[in-house]
Structure 1
Amino acid sequence: MPWSPTIQFPHPFIKVDYNRAPTDKINILSYGLVEVLTWSGMRNIVNEFRKEPLGLPPLHIRQAVRIMIDEHVPHTYCWSPSFVPKPADWPAHIDVSGFFFLNLATDYKPPKDILQFLKSGDPPIYIGFGSITGHDSDRILEVVLEALKTTGYRALLSGFETDSDELSDNILKINNCPHDWLFQHVVAVCHHGGAGTTAAGLRAGKPTIIVPFFGDQFFWGSMVSKSGAGPASLPGKTVTAKQLAAAFEFVHDPKVQAAALKISTNFQNENGCEVAVQSFHAHLPLHKMRSDLEPTFAACFRLIKYDLQISRPVAQVLVAAEIIEESELSSHSTYGWSTLMHDGTFQVFTRNFKRAVTKITNSVHRIKRSRSAHSSERKSSDDTQNNSKNETINVGHSFKNELALYGKIEKPTKEEQI
């Protein structure tokens, strides 16, 4: 669901009254309201986590509610851009990729009762709300059955607690069934409006009736209605049999069916997973993440003297070879978050930093002692061994879990040095 402020539509968690203010103002303000309410409930949990494990300063409400905006945190929204286009006021670091789909029907073998029901008459309407109906499930079932009785349409009921023997011949109760298979065989779908179910129904080109109960379900109901692929959503708390019967008639309109098929065609031309992966990589600061001396490794340290960012293995080799001192290593950050600024002062992670420096210092001392021992052994060794082309030195094991590099580093022979 959208969580980035826009004037195009309100936050999905907010029910707005456009009679009180201009649409664009209400829409944009709705996101700030949700952030404030969310932070009020999560503040203590988040700040305790920042303080203890991470060693970070607590966030003030002014920082918390705007952190995603002020830090320009990349977002990839996984819905179809042809169904809900990216708002024009969203910046470049926010993308819309397309829906993600799992093809679960590849090896699916439908039960005989479903196959027989589908062959025995016109394509039915799929009706299922999962466990969303809650304590109101009995009333919702009565509404559904009355609407079907009024219209005479056939239906597949999913998720309702009812005895199959009590249902009329034009209704079949079913258990869990892959939507990507089932929705190919129905005339329309009626559900609570979850993002996944909505996408599956439209992908199959089926007109959609949404009976929302909470959250972003109202948002998807609004988008379906706006696209012409379904009627206005019917809130679950107030829906009546008369309203639902009218919706059943609505989705049989050829214009509505054509609108749903058009959306399906657009979906077929999109690859949400591929675009999302591309979006993820496009927003990575790779130039700050790679080691300058060995780009296949991630940069973890900075050598200010040489203006280089280097990886743990490279740092280990340089320290072990006494090319640099451990004091020349500083922590490398791929991104500077301004929320680390508190009262105008940069909060250094003192505790964690001291621990890291202590570990590195102790490890370097162990390597120096190890090198000294190796040096004494080499002085008493045979000259032919000293001139061996395959001479190697072990490095990295003292830096296990710190500046880790496992294996051996080739040491150049005298001939190679010449």
Structure 2
Amino acid sequence: MVALGAGLRRAGHEVRLASNPSFRELVQSAGLEFAPINADFLELMASEPEAVRKGKNVFKFLNAGRKGLLNMASQWAEQGKTAAQDADLLLGNGMTVPLVASLAEVFKKPYVQTHLQPVTPTRAMPPMGFPLPQKNRPGLINLASYHFIRFLVWQALRPAINGVLRKQLGLRSYPWYGPYYQTEVKNQPLIYGYSQHLIPKPQDWTTRIEIAGFWFYDQAESWQPPPHLQAFLEDGPKPIYVGFGSMLSGRDSQELTIKVVKAIRLSGYRAILATGWGGLSAELAEGMEKHICVIQHAPHDWLFPRVELAVHHGGAGTTAATVRAGIPSVVLPFLGDQPFWAWNLKRLNVSPGGLNLENLTAEQLAHNIQLAGSELIKQNAALLGQKIRSENGVENAVLAMRRLGYIE
């Protein structure tokens, strides 16, 4: 959303972005006004490690996250009103859409939904959250699955939205089955921040739905690599990238790092190991400096064009960065939409497919790294990268809002 906000600012609009205080610096560095709102999902994952471990089981994951969302919601009404009170247009993304829709109702302002992954029911593809098939399921099963997932997600959100937020705002509760089928909600415009080159627009979606392309917030021009990373990149063939963001903690981090380090050695590649927030354990790579360079973080738009392939968790942002860079992926999905992105990358043959963390071995990971480095997958990834780089998702989203009459 920082990328979209920066695009709206370039188009001449004043933008205020409401997010967790931990993102204040990032938001302000983009020239946007910041407004705090309780939405610390990193803290939620740290305090609810079972939510991460159960992440690919949609029932258990949503149940684990329900309590955390309820705790976050206690200040949403006041924080939301402060953030939105003088706005001409409200934008909501992902699970914040019911919050933004409620604020729009209070202030009688228009709002636009945005999402980074497909959530609109369709016959064309299976939804994220369900086990994904080797071959596409019949259209009616896909369609019914989307509605069922919607219902499950609403049951996780309902205590926070109906029980806290809408009550504090003095609004009537949404129906027990959720707000999605109300006429005023169904007719709202929706802009997706992913590429049609990765997931084409289904024929059964209406014209109110726009697929703009990925929203990239580039930082390469203002970022300087640490000397040891620059030296490592210059000292041999292109390495691979391994990083899982904030998906790991404690024992899980130690166990996976051991497997990753062994897999790197077996694969024959040099590697950049990004530890991230509470992620992979740097200590377990000590003594392997010629083969493994450990960093905490580097902007994907700077680093990914300099690596051979990426081993990652399959989050929407990391997936977008790999396909734009034109490099193959090896995906170890943890939760949420990550198995869905892994499934789509395999469908396009730019990845050998997602690996199951529960029974992962170093040998399996090394094998998939070698598969991802095959000429066919590399060629497919390079061609996809050319297509992704040819579109401007942020500009397309701004044009869509202008075309819909929400901005000038």
Deviates more, 1:71-80 or 1:38-47: 38-47
Q: What is the 5 A alignment of 1:242-281?
A: 242-281=363-402
1:139 maps onto 2:255 in alignment: yes
Whether the 8 Å CA contact 2:126–2:137 is kept in 1: the answer is no
Which consecutive unaligned segments of at least 5 residues does structure 2 have?
Answer: 1-116
The one-letter amino acid of 2:206's match is P
Match of 2:129 among 9, 13, 26: 13
- Give the secondary-structure state (helix, strand or coil) at the position aligned to 1:166: coil
- Give the secondary-structure state (helix, strand or coil) at the position aligned to 2:120: coil
Whether the 8 Å CA contact 1:213–1:237 is kept in 2: the answer is no
1:69–1:2 Cα change, 3 Å: farther
Deviation per CA, 1:30-49, whole angstroms, max 9, x where unpaired? 22112222222333433356
Q: Give me the whole-angstrom Cα distance separating, in 1, the residues matched to 2:371 and 2:132.
A: 26
Match of residue 302 from structure 2: 181
1:188–1:282 Cα change, 3 Å: same
Match of residue 337 from structure 2: 216
Match of 1:119 among 234, 255, 259: 234
- Give the secondary-structure state (helix, strand or coil) at the position aligned to 1:61: coil
Offset, 1:275: 0.7
Q: Give me the whole-angstrom Cα distance separating, in 1, the residues matched to 2:260 and 2:331.
A: 13
Offset, 1:175: 2.0
1:202 maps onto 2:202 in alignment: no
- Give the secondary-structure state (helix, strand or coil) at the position aligned to 2:217: coil
The one-letter amino acid of 1:120's match is D
Q: Matched residues, percent identical?
A: 33
Q: Give me the whole-angstrom Cα distance separating, in 1, the residues matched to 2:369 and 2:333.
A: 16
The one-letter amino acid of 2:376's match is K
Deviation per CA, 1:51-105, whole angstroms, max 9, x where unpaired? 6455443332246352479632211110011111111111111110000112201
1:97 maps onto 2:212 in alignment: yes
Which consecutive unaligned segments of at least 5 residues does structure 1 have?
Answer: 287-295, 297-418
The one-letter amino acid of 1:272's match is G
1:30–1:181 Cα change, 3 Å: same
1:140–1:280 Cα change, 3 Å: same
Q: Give me the whole-angstrom Cα distance separating, in 1, the residues matched to 2:389 and 2:271.
A: 27
Match of residue 87 from structure 1: 202
1:83–1:16 Cα change, 3 Å: closer
Q: Give me the whole-angstrom Cα distance separating, in 2, the residues matched to 1:29 and 1:116.
A: 53
1:226–1:162 Cα change, 3 Å: same
Match of residue 189 from structure 2: 74
Whether the 8 Å CA contact 2:151–2:177 is kept in 1: the answer is no
More helix by share: 2
Deviation per CA, 1:233-262, whole angstroms, max 9, x where unpaired? 113233221221111111221111111111
Q: Give me the whole-angstrom Cα distance separating, in 2, the residues matched to 1:63 and 1:172.
A: 48
Q: What is the 5 A alignment of 1:231-246?
A: 231-246=352-367
- Give the secondary-structure state (helix, strand or coil) at the position aligned to 1:173: strand
The one-letter amino acid of 1:162's match is A
Offset, 1:276: 0.6
CA RMSD of aligned residues (A): 2.5
1:284–1:62 Cα change, 3 Å: farther
1:282 maps onto 2:398 in alignment: no
TM-score, structure 2 as length reference:
0.65
Q: Relative CO higher for 1 or 2, CA cutoff 8 Å, sep ≥ 6?
A: 2
Q: Give me the whole-angstrom Cα distance separating, in 1, the residues matched to 2:297 and 2:137.
A: 44
Q: Give me the whole-angstrom Cα distance separating, in 2, the residues matched to 1:117 and 1:264.
A: 25
Offset, 1:14: 2.0
Whether the 8 Å CA contact 1:36–1:65 is kept in 2: the answer is no
Higher Cα radius of gyration: 1
Q: Give me the whole-angstrom Cα distance separating, in 1, the residues matched to 2:134 and 2:381.
A: 28
The one-letter amino acid of 2:129's match is F
Q: Give me the whole-angstrom Cα distance separating, in 1, the residues matched to 2:331 and 2:288.
A: 23
